[in-house]
A = this chain, B = another copy of it.
């Protein structure tokens, strides 16, 4: 096997190290990287260039590893590689979420493979497990922590009592968050990964942009503290369920209680919990990111290609998956309202909830850490159809003279 690597960043360098240490039968024939000249210490004897043709036009290279990131250039490289009869291994979830449908069809037409274990949940072999084992049964539920950056932020907010902004800054300094963190903290990275996972599970393509998404940017330290008080933790969850012949999914911050295994997934770890029709509940936990964990998943894909055990993840002509409206599903909710500290406020709110048949499980009011004349009311509701909760929420929001600010989180079950 002769491979060409596009992009010699952290993961690319990890891959080079693994392949060297294994002393196996994978030869790195060439590397293409914009700043290859500054990376001679890593490259050593490997031919390198900024020119893509060094790899694309070399007929002896049978496999292209795309670790450039970004979309447009990566799309060109992947398409060209397939056109030139090369298999592709990529860690690029953004590329696949946007262009995967066409790319997988094109790969199949060319008789080539696109492998992407490293694109979802780092070192966790979740793609391979879905393709080989869980393809044999219906997955009725999937709940995942599949974005390490946000889980790291939420963990440190809780453990170190830090604000969202301070943790984000610290994470950026440590290279755990990007300079522009929108993709992670806005939930879009998890949205793309969830789209890929559900496409694999259902066999039909899920358009990432159709998955409802909420990020963690509106969360405050108060919510983290309130969660703890009720033995809950906040997690950014990619949530899918199959109910009444509908596929429902969304990405949302949610409360997770201590009975749920996701409660214990801390820092940049990833975990995917799913429910198989026959096999029951499964959890896969592992490193969601990092030089060697991610590079190892790329290496695994190369070994599968080499041993002839790679698979076509999608088959042509299966079409797009129709998504159910998440508002039609039920959930219990946590609702924190910052209100004016005056008589009648709770009555007004409780009436709206009652009018919408939203049953209250508990109410707590607390003056701590709130400005003078203001108070936080925290309400836990029993499970109800989300659409009904959203309607009630809209009516509460309209109480502008007394409700200053609000945040709600579903409670994961």
Interface residues of A (CB under 8 A from B): 14, 18, 123-125, 128-129, 132-133, 136-137, 261, 264, 271, 276, 278-287, 290, 292-293, 295-297, 299-300, 303-304, 309
Contact = CB atoms under 8 A, between A and B. Distances in A.
Given A128-B132, A132-B309, A136-B303, A297 B283 contact: no
Contacts of A278: 14, 18, 292-293, 295-296, 299
Contact of A282 (B123, B133, B292): B123
Contacts of A271: 283
A263 to B, nearest CB: 8
B137 A133 contact: no
A304 B135 CA distance: 11
A279 B264 contact: no
A287 B280 contact: yes
Contact of A136 (B279, B293, B299): B299
A132 B283 contact: no
A132 B264 contact: no
Contact of A286 (B125, B128, B279, B299): B279
Question: In the complex this chain forms, how many copies of it are found?
Answer: 2
Nearest to A17: B278
A286 B282 contact: yes
A311 to B, nearest CB: 9
Contacts of A284: 282-285
Contacts of A293: 278-280
Contacts of A297: 279
Nearest to A307: B132
B276 A261 contact: no
- Across the A-B interface, the 7 shortest Cβ-Cβ residue pairs: A283-B285, A123-B279, A279-B296, A280-B287, A278-B296, A278-B292, A282-B286
Nearest to A260: B264
Contacts of A276: 123, 296
A282 to B, nearest CB: 4
A300 B132 CA distance: 9
Contacts of A18: 278
A19 to B, nearest CB: 11
Contacts of A300: 133, 136
A407 to B, nearest CB: 28
Nearest to A283: B285
B280 A261 contact: no
